[in-house]
Structure 1
Amino acid sequence: MNLLKKMSLFWALFSVAFFLLRTKDPFYGNILMADIGDLGGITYLYSTVGIIFSILAGFVIQNRWDRWTSLELAVTGEVAALRELWAWSRRCPGPIRTAILKATQDYLAITIREGWERPAGEDESDEEDAVLDSLRSGVLGARVEPERDASAVALFCDILTHRANRRQNMRPMPESLRQALVFANVLVIGLALFIGVKNFWLDYLFTVSIGLLGYLIYLVVDDLNNPVKPGIWHITPQGYQRLLLKLQQDRPETKG
């Protein structure tokens, strides 16, 4: 479901709740109308809740955005290092080139399959460890000249560094922090229904705007907290997929 559909659904449900609270007796006539007629200190109390929510949401969004940016850099860097390793291996002797090509293909395939489908933060599988060892063995097998040694080791270290950063930045925020943000969001949206002005449509305009903004913040945080889960916007493994396709079209046995 895209952003417009989600926002439209929330707008419809929130509007129903608003109209019920504003038009149905005895709640509206006995309690809510009296508050709207003389809000007193309620606006200040609500402002306090809104400020606390804003600070919490701002901190979380900034933190998750930094992680999102770091994750994008890690993914881009990992793909670039793998592509460079593949290009470098094409100048190696046939058996070494074949070993590195096969190991790189396996690495890309398992990263696409498990790096995006496995829950973030979960330990590496035995298959991932085996593929990484195979890639390491291929790189070590290319250590026949000092200049090649430095290039191969540097590229492999880059891959490991970007891989570690990718896995680290895929981790979601602590559950307690997520629940605190959701609770604060519910308070801001829910309490907005109990304050307002006497003009019905002006009251509706501002109240539904508060609700929509609160819900939009929740959607943004939810996407930032799950950067690889399909959603309104997320990071995809397309870079790995395109590189894997190129490697599958390579035929090392025909290149000398």
Structure 2
Amino acid sequence: MSEWLALALAMAGACLVVVVVVLVRHRKSDRDEDTSETPDVIEYITMMIGVVYAIVLGLAIAGVWESRSAAQDDVQAEAQSLHEVSARAEVFPADYRGVVEKDVDNYVSFVVNTEWHYMRTHGEISPEGTELLAKLRTDVAERAPQNDIEAQAYQAMMDKIAVADETRTSRGGNVGPTMPGVVWFGLVIGAVVTIGMLFALQIGRSRRELILAGTFSALIGFLLFLIWDFDDPFGRGVSVTTDPFLNLFPFLGS
């Protein structure tokens, strides 16, 4: 089942539950119950619960979006650093340049074609990818620069490899859900309480009221799904992509 189909079913289920509860409640309610007015204190409490929950939802969405954006920036920095290593190797002799470029190509090919899937299934970066990056560092470091131009390029290459290693480590730290379980507990309980307060307002069974109640519950369901989808930057529908590698290393797309 696709994530979008699951979202549609969840939203439809939320609407259906609210509508059914309203209809059943009115069918079984006491005929002498006065539903024409709602006490002011209930309206005030309902308003405050809605405001507080809206703030919590906003902070949660901002948090997971920031985590996803940071993960995408790390991927961009990693790809750019490796591209710079290949570019700066141009000042070296052909044999050494060929070794460096081969190491870079092997690493980025592994990341795009193998490690991305490995991260989604295992929840961590691959040890083989770490070994490939270590091999690149070793091959770059083993040749001492022969002149000033090579010395400048050599230092820049080592710096860029360090950046790639750092961003790779950060990428590994962003694999898997980033939202603490206690936050999810609060979000779910808050959704139940917020939707439940609809019944404290003595909602009626008219078509307009049922549509509004169903739409409101579906909106809460969509926002929770949005947080859940962004919570895993590499493993779900709206995930971090390999586009930075594909853009800087065109051979990966062939």
Q: Determine if the TM-score, normalized by the shorter chain, exceeds 0.5.
A: yes
2:135 maps to 134
Read off the aligned partner of 1:130 and give its amino acid letter: E
Matched, 1:203 2:202: no
The farther-off stretch of 90-99 and 204-213 is 90-99
1:189 aligns with 2:205: no
SS in 2 for 1:228: coil
The alpha-carbon deviation at position 120 of structure 1 amounts to 9.4
SS of the residue 1:24 aligns to: helix
Number of equivalences:
246
Are 2:243 and 1:238 equivalent residues in the alignment? yes
Q: Secondary structure at the match of 1:212?
A: helix
Shift of 1:9: 2.8
Does 1:219 find its partner at 2:198? no
**Could you tell me how far 1:211 is from its partner in structure 2?**
0.7
How far apart are the structure 1 equivalents of 2:246 and 2:31? 57
Contact 1:70 1:165 in 2 (8 A): no
User: What is the deviation of 1:131?
Assistant: 1.2
Q: Provide the rounded CA distance (Å) in 2 between the counterparts of 1:215 and 1:146.
A: 58
Percent identity of equivalent pairs: 18
* Structure 2 counterpart SS, 1:39: coil
Query: In the superposition, relative to structure 1, how do residues 180 and 199 fare at CA in structure 2: closer, same or farther (>3 Å)?
Result: closer
Q: Note the residue ranges of structure 2 that are not aligned, 5 or more in a row.
A: none
Contact 1:120 1:170 survives alignment (8 Å) = no
SS in 1 for 2:29: helix
Does the CA contact (< 8 Å) of 1:116 and 1:237 recur in 2? no
| C-alpha distance in structure 2 between counterparts of 1:156 and 1:131, whole Å | 12
Q: Which amino acid aligns with 1:227?
A: P
Alignment of 1:1-256 (within 5 A): 1=2, 3=4, 5-6=5-6, 8-24=8-24, 28-30=27-29, 34=33, 36-40=35-39, 41-112=41-112, 113-118=114-119, 124-144=125-145, 145-170=150-175, 172-192=178-198, 195-198=201-204, 200-231=206-237, 233-241=238-246, 243=248, 246=251
Structure 1 residue 137, shift from structure 2 partner: 0.9
The answer to whether the 8 Å contact 2:74/2:171 transfers is yes
Structure number with higher relative contact order (C-alpha < 8 Å, ≥ 6 residues apart): 2
CA contact (8 A) 2:91 2:153 kept: no
Which AA in structure 2 matches 1:154? D
Give the drift of 1:94. 2.7
Question: Structure 2 counterpart of 1:166, which letter?
Answer: R
Is the partner of 1:209 in helix, strand or coil?
helix
- Any unmatched runs of 5+ in structure 1? 250-256
Contact 2:68–2:230 (CA under 8 A) maintained in structure 1: yes
Letter in 2 for 1:56: V
